[in-house]
């Protein structure tokens, strides 16, 4: 039908036009890239060998004879001294780029170590396993801080959290409120009468178990686990108290180890080569300008 033929021709012409447009765009991109490459190549060649001067000798025109060869063009007038100076300048640039690359790599490694240390702390605080962080801890801190790494890995096997310490204090408080079921009525009565009146200095904290538990709870909430351990260690020796003290000591040791690796990640010294930025040697060998040996500088 005529309508279908017109539609087909229109669609075919649009398809051909689209292909032509895509081809033109690709040609323009290729031409632009070629111009950029040609410009960069020309600038690099000019910076390395310097500007060329026109030869004073005229090049004879080519004759009609096929056996006639063109005369060679005179080379540039760059002297060996100028080339040595250029090479020395390029060596200085390479040294500066190398120093910048090493500094960037050092900062990247330090950032990775800090992230691993903080992620390990978050995992222990949440009571979650270390998983892949265990391998990263061994790689980044295993040689410098092996004891701290071992403590953190052992603590992650059965992590102790602040919530677990709070729950332990609640259990101990309930036991003291109910009293010891094995304690006789006479001992219980004498203990109660003895606690009615207590003589002590105002600067000395109250020795009652309830008061010690309250102070230990406040210390745990403030993150002062050592103070809580001191308060709980003064309580009568009971299995529940001993279990809480063992958990609190493990928590304290694990977080001390985390502090150690965080400090190592932040303050670990890095090796920075001292750049040799001497002036280019004119008239001499560029290889004589040797960069200084690497210098280890601690980073605050």
Q: What is the pLDDT of residues 3-61, one digit of tens each?
A: 445 444 544 545 555 566 556 566 666 766 666 666 655 555 554 444 444 444 444 44
Instruction: Quote the CA–CA distance of 243 and 57 in Å, as a whole number.
Output: 100
The closest of 291, 300, 263 to 99, measured between CA atoms, is: 291
Query: Is 106 strand, coil or helix?
Result: helix
pLDDT band at 108 (very low <50, low <70, confident <90, very high): confident
| pLDDT at residue 152 in the model | 95
| pLDDT at residue 178 in the model | 60
Considering only CA atoms, give the Rg of the chain.
Answer: 40
How would you label 151-183 residue by residue, b for 16+ Cβ within 10 Å and e otherwise? bbbebbeebbeeeebeebbeebbeebeeeeeee
pLDDT band at 282 (very low <50, low <70, confident <90, very high): very low
Give me the percent of the chain exceeding a pLDDT of 70.
51
Q: What average pLDDT does range 146-159 have in this prediction?
A: 93
* 254: region left, alpha or beta (phi > 0 left; psi from -120 to 50 alpha): alpha
User: Is a pLDDT exceeding 60 seen at residue 74?
Assistant: no
Q: What average pLDDT does range 130-154 have in this prediction?
A: 92
Terminal alpha carbon distance of the chain = 85
Q: Could you tell me the pTM of the whole model? A: 0.53
User: Is a pLDDT exceeding 90 seen at residue 154?
Assistant: yes
Instruction: Quote the CA–CA distance of 259 and 225 in Å, as a whole number.
Output: 14
Give me the percent of the chain exceeding a pLDDT of 90.
29
Q: Position of tokens 């290729």?
A: 30
pLDDT band at 236 (very low <50, low <70, confident <90, very high): confident
Mean of per-residue pLDDT scores for the chain: 71
Q: Which residue has the higher pLDDT, 172 or 54?
A: 172
In this structure, what are the phi and psi dihedrals at residue 100, rounded to the nearest 5 degrees? -65, -40
The closest of 263, 277, 234 to 88, measured between CA atoms, is: 277
The closest of 240, 220, 239 to 229, measured between CA atoms, is: 220
Q: What average pLDDT does range 73-81 have in this prediction?
A: 64
Q: Which residue has the higher pLDDT, 260 or 207?
A: 260
pLDDT band at 238 (very low <50, low <70, confident <90, very high): confident
Q: Position of tokens 């745990």?
A: 220
pLDDT band at 286 (very low <50, low <70, confident <90, very high): very low
Is the CA virtual torsion 129, 135, 137, 138 positive or negative? positive
């Amino acid at each position: 039908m005529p309508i279908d033929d017109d539609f087909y021709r229109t669609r075919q012409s649009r398809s051909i036009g689209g292909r032509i447009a895509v081809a033109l765009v690709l040609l323009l991109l290729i031409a632009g890239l070629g111009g950029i490459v040609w410009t960069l190549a020309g600038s690099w060649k000019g910076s390395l060998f310097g500007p060329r001067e026109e030869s004073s000798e005229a090049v004879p025109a080519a004759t009609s004879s096929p056996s006639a060869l063109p005369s060679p063009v005179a080379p540039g007038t760059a002297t060996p001294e100028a080339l040595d100076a250029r090479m020395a300048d390029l060596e200085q640039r390479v040294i500066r780029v190398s120093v910048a690359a090493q500094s960037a790599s050092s900062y990247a490694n330090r950032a990775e170590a800090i992230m691993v240390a903080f992620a390990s702390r978050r995992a222990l605080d949440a009571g979650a396993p270390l998983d892949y962080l265990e391998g990263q801890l061994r790689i980044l801190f295993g040689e410098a801080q092996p004891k701290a790494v071992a403590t953190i890995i052992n603590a992650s096997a059965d992590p102790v959290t602040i919530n677990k310490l709070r729950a332990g204090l609640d259990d101990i408080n309930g036991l003291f409120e109910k009293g010891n079921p094995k304690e006789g009525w006479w001992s219980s009565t004498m203990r109660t009468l003895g606690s009615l009146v207590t003589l002590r200095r105002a600067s000395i904290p109250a020795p009652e178990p309830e008061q010690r538990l309250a102070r230990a709870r406040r210390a745990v909430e403030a993150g002062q686990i050592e103070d809580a351990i001191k308060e709980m260690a003064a309580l009568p020796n009971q299995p529940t108290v001993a279990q809480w003290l063992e958990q609190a000591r493990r928590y304290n040791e694990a977080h001390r180890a985390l502090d150690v690796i965080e400090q190592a990640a932040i303050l670990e010294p890095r090796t920075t080569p001292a750049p040799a930025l001497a002036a280019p040697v004119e008239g001499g060998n560029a290889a004589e300008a040797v960069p200084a040996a690497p210098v280890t500088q601690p980073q605050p």
